[in-house]
Amino acid sequence: MWLALCARRLAAALAAAAACLPQVCAAASAEVATVSVDAREASRGILKSHLTLPVSPGALTLVYPKWIQGRHSPAGPITSLAGPVLRAAGAPLAWRRDDVDLYAFHLLVPAGVSVLEADLEVLTAPAPDGIVQGLETPRSASESLAIIEWNQLLLYPEGARTDELTYRASIRLPAGWQLATALTPAAAARAAADGSTDFEPTSLTTLVDSTLLAGRYFRTLELGGTPAVKLAIAADQPAALAISAETLAHYRNLVAEASALFGATHYRHYQFEWALTDQIMPDGVEHHESSDDRSPLRALLDDDIRRAEATLLPHEYTHSWNGKFRRPVGLATPDFQTPMRDELLWVYEGLTEYLGDVLATRSGLLTPAEFRDEMARIAAQLTVHKGRDWRSLEDAVISAPLLYYQDWNWASRLRRQDDFYWEPALLWLEADTLIRRLSKGQRSLDDFCRRFYGGTSTAPEVRPYDFEAVVAALAAVQPYDWRSFWRERLTRLGGGAPLAGIEAGGWRLEFTPAPNSMNGAHETEDREVNLQYSLGFRVSLDGGTLVDIVPGSPADAAGAAPASHLVAVNGHKWSREVLHDALLEASDGGHTLALLIEKDGEYRTLELHYAGGERYPVLARAQGADLLAEIVRPRAAGTGSSAARGTSSHGSHAGER
Ligand SMILES: [Zn+2]
């Protein structure tokens, strides 16, 4: 609808252009919508916005963004939306929600009205234990920082292409707060009497793709690169901003290593926006020229949490190439209402997961030993996800909108988002080793990345691709039946975790009593004990809640249910140490562990028959060349020395973003 109106006005403007009449210029500026966000009460969970929308008299349908890029799902927080409150020519204007599309509002613009005003509020509150259920909106602000996702705070005309709508944004923040965003600050900044920050008009697509991070405790660091890359960090406490010189060097290496991998960039500048807080669910959302990165408060201070979060920024940065520049055709939608088709997320997310791990290691954020522990960790997870027996990888990616934001209960039987990040990551490792073997070490997946995602450096643009384009680009790097390779792996059921890549890399998955450094890092971050590979469950340190039950495990055989609470082990009040001691006792032959469980207000004892001790995944050296070492070897000039962080191997859910 807005398109037709714009075209009509454009024709009128062109007809009068020779004279450049003042009224024509005024009409042109009226085509720009404005969104003024008031985030001064963000820490209360209140974000307000005031919109002015250019309109013409007659019937109009305004829509609230529903399908959100980067979230691959209908994640627009409609249940948290208060409003809209509409006014035209100073008078209230009624609307009626569509009976079927609950994100659409029908109204009638009165005669003589060219600008509509709308007020919205988005209201959020802390979720118990951080897990967001169903349509609930996760909070995105704490007492000291806020993440502003513009899509939550605006409306636009139904049927318009978001590339063709122009919005001018501004924001008011609490006094003394700083901000970072990929948006361009307005050249002629307002007198700032009200403390607003204004931005240059931009397309609605770019506005929504430019999340803003603001905070009381804030710093910005230069990471080098051409175009320049910056790292902005906001934290709930000033001490949490203390990035070590070594870690900063590794993030600078990341920029150099990504450049060496892809050979070209597709942004005008790039901005990491990293929020460090324990009040907001850890997450990461990619954008073309920025990323919205959310980690626990102590991600720069606690070595376990630092390691658990080490792949987050490499993952989101990789998306600037894989996901934003090259995008599956089903995700290259013209607006925020067209449903997305997620069938190629095994490329978009799976390859990004693999490259995020590889780039983190080439940069020095992980050691090669930690990279192997991470590969062992994700492979081991897939060995216990028995949902692989009924749900193919292809079905998991198609079902992404259902599987995102699911909690861990019954994850092993249902599968969840980890499966379509980790399983294809191992399959891309297999493809990488296959190219290296068939080309006798002459080529690798790096050549595919350069060909598919590199080319000539450009400003942000979207080049959609389909399954056949991926197959063709792989075949151009290394002739092979890539179509069959992927079809078989996407559709097969059961058959165990995909370990062929690890094995072709010269390693094999084993389970030993020695802790896995990445497993340990995620146990610390997630505040849990992970006994998936021995007793068959994870248990939360806060409240002793059993998380997931592995099918076929001792806990499964004993009848344990997720969300039960562990009270005692062998008659002793439960703790991490008591559990580990019980496992040690069980390591010298068959034992029965008595777990006292509280569920639904009733107590009962589960008897777990278990003959092993502690069991954690590890990669053990096998036959053939060590291709994993070759894959994570730094490529950029100058990275090598600062990437070497030693090779010690002692040390959640991060990375699946
Ligand atoms: Zn991702």
Instruction: Work out the burial of residue 528: count CB atoms within 10 Å of its CB; fewer than 13 is exposed, 13-18 middle, 19 or more buried.
Output: buried
- What is the mean predicted confidence (pLDDT) over 598-619? 94
Helix (H) or strand (E) holding 145: strand 145-148
The gap from C-alpha 599 to its chain's centroid, in whole angstroms, comes to 33
- What is the mean predicted confidence (pLDDT) over 580-600? 87
Strand 81-88 versus strand 115-123 pairing type? antiparallel
Polymer length of the chain: 657
CB 499 within 8 A of CB 379: yes
3-state secondary structure 555-612: HHHCCCCCCCEEEEECCEECCHHHHHHHHHHHHHCCEEEEEEEEECCEEEEEEEEECC
Q: Is 612 left (phi over 0), alpha (psi -120 to 50) or beta?
A: beta
Tell me the CA–centroid distance for residue 271 and ligand 1, in Å.
16
Question: Does 42 score more than 50 pLDDT?
Answer: yes
The pLDDT score that the predictor gives to residue 584 is 86
- What is the mean predicted confidence (pLDDT) over 608-630? 94
The pLDDT score that the predictor gives to residue 132 is 47
Tell me the CA–centroid distance for residue 136 and ligand 1, in Å.
21
The average confidence (pLDDT) of the chain is 90
The pLDDT score that the predictor gives to residue 411 is 85
d(CA 37, CA 210): 14
Helix, strand, coil distribution of the chain in percent, nearest 5: 35, 25, 40
Tell me the CA–centroid distance for residue 47 and ligand 1, in Å.
26
Question: Does 327 score more than 60 pLDDT?
Answer: yes
Q: Which amino acid is at 386?
A: K
Tell me the CA–centroid distance for residue 32 and ligand 1, in Å.
32
Residue 486: phi and psi, rounded to 5, are -75, -40
Tell me the CA–centroid distance for residue 285 and ligand 1, in Å.
7
d(CA 487, CA 394): 9
Tell me the CA–centroid distance for residue 349 and ligand 1, in Å.
5
Mean pLDDT lowest among 4-8, 118-122, 141-145, 452-456: 4-8
Omega before 74 within 30 of 0, i.e. cis: no
DSSP codes, 89-128: TTEEE--EE-SS-TTEEEEEEPTT--EEEEEEEEE--PPG
Q: How many CA atoms lie within 13 A of 60 on its CB side?
A: 30
The pLDDT score that the predictor gives to residue 406 is 76
Tell me the CA–centroid distance for residue 165 and ligand 1, in Å.
27
| Span 478-534, pLDDT tens digits | 999 999 999 999 999 988 899 999 999 999 999 999 999 999 999 999 999 999 999
Tell me the CA–centroid distance for residue 562 and ligand 1, in Å.
27
What separation in angstroms does the CA of 334 have from each of 68, 158, 159, 164, 341?
12, 11, 9, 10, 13
CB 462 within 8 A of CB 320: no
Strands (E), 296-336: 326-328
Question: Does 415 score more than 90 pLDDT?
Answer: no
- DSSP SS3 for 356: helix
- What is the mean predicted confidence (pLDDT) over 570-576? 96
DSSP 8-state code for residue 231: E
Tell me the CA–centroid distance for residue 425 and ligand 1, in Å.
12
Mean pLDDT lowest among 11-15, 136-140, 541-545, 565-569: 11-15
Question: Does 264 score more than 90 pLDDT?
Answer: yes
- What is the mean predicted confidence (pLDDT) over 427-434? 98
With bands split at pLDDT 50, 70 and 90, how would you rate the model's confidence at 113? very high
Question: Does 635 score more than 70 pLDDT?
Answer: yes
Tell me the CA–centroid distance for residue 319 and ligand 1, in Å.
7
Give the dihedral sign, CA 310/353/540/582.
negative
The pLDDT score that the predictor gives to residue 405 is 73
- Encoded tokens for 277: 């807080």
Tell me the CA–centroid distance for residue 600 and ligand 1, in Å.
37
With bands split at pLDDT 50, 70 and 90, how would you rate the model's confidence at 193? low
Tell me the CA–centroid distance for residue 358 and ligand 1, in Å.
14
With bands split at pLDDT 50, 70 and 90, how would you rate the model's confidence at 195? confident
Q: Buried b / exposed e across 185-202, counting CB within 10 Å, b at 16+?
A: ebeeeeeeeeebbbbebb
With bands split at pLDDT 50, 70 and 90, how would you rate the model's confidence at 409? confident
- Encoded tokens for 238: 């000033």
- DSSP SS3 for 552: coil
Tell me the CA–centroid distance for residue 292 and ligand 1, in Å.
11
| Span 200-234, pLDDT tens digits | 999 999 999 999 999 999 999 999 999 999 999 99
**Which residues lie at CB < 5 A from ion ligand 1?**
349, 657
Looking at the DSSP bridge assignments, the partners of residue 171 are 37, 197
Tell me the CA–centroid distance for residue 420 and ligand 1, in Å.
11
The rounded percent of the chain whose pLDDT value lies above 90 is 81
Question: Does 416 score more than 80 pLDDT?
Answer: no
Tell me the CA–centroid distance for residue 421 and ligand 1, in Å.
8
d(CA 61, CA 159): 9
Tell me the CA–centroid distance for residue 593 and ligand 1, in Å.
40
The pLDDT score that the predictor gives to residue 638 is 75
Tell me the CA–centroid distance for residue 320 and ligand 1, in Å.
10
| Span 346-399, pLDDT tens digits | 999 999 999 999 999 999 999 999 999 999 999 999 999 888 889 999 999 999
Tell me the CA–centroid distance for residue 317 and ligand 1, in Å.
9
Question: Does 19 score more than 60 pLDDT?
Answer: no
The pLDDT score that the predictor gives to residue 102 is 97
Tell me the CA–centroid distance for residue 364 and ligand 1, in Å.
21
- DSSP SS3 for 63: strand
Q: Which residue has the higher pLDDT, 352 or 129?
A: 352
